[in-house]
Amino acid sequence: MLTVADLLKVLNRIPAWGRLVTLPDKVEAMDRRIAELESQVFKGRNGSHQMCPKCRKHTLEFMHRKPHPIYGKIGVQEEHFKCSECGFSTKRHAS
C-alpha cells in the first residue's frame, strides 16, 4: 500500500513539484509587495496621505484592494482606506 511518505518521495522527484511546494510562500511575498506598492501609489505627490473626510488631516492611508463582494467577478475592485489619526475607514470602487 502506498503511504503518504511514499507519495511525497515520488512527488519530490518531479521538478515542477518543487516549484509548486514553494508557491504559497512566493504568493504571500508577492501579496505583501503589492500592498506596499499600492500604498506608495496612493500617497500624494509629496508623500503625504489623502485627506480624511472626517478629521480633515492628510492621514487617510490605503490599506488594501480586493475584489468587490458582488461585482468582483466582472473585475470591479474595492480599495479600503483607514485614517491613522481618527480611525475613520472607507471603501472606494476601482476598476
Site for Zn ion contains 54 (CB under 5 A): yes
What 3 state SS string does 11-70 have? HHCCHHHHHHHHHHHHHHHHHHHHHHHHHHHCCCCCCCCECCCCCCCCCEEEEEEEECCC
Applying CB under 5 A, among 52, 61, 62, 81 the residue interacting with Zn ion is: 52
C-alpha cell at 45: 505627490
Q: Which stretch binds Zn ion (CB under 5 A): 3-11, 13-21, 30-38, 75-83?
A: 75-83
Site for Zn ion contains 85 (CB under 5 A): yes
Residues that bind Zn ion (CB under 5 A): 52, 54-55, 83, 85-86, 88
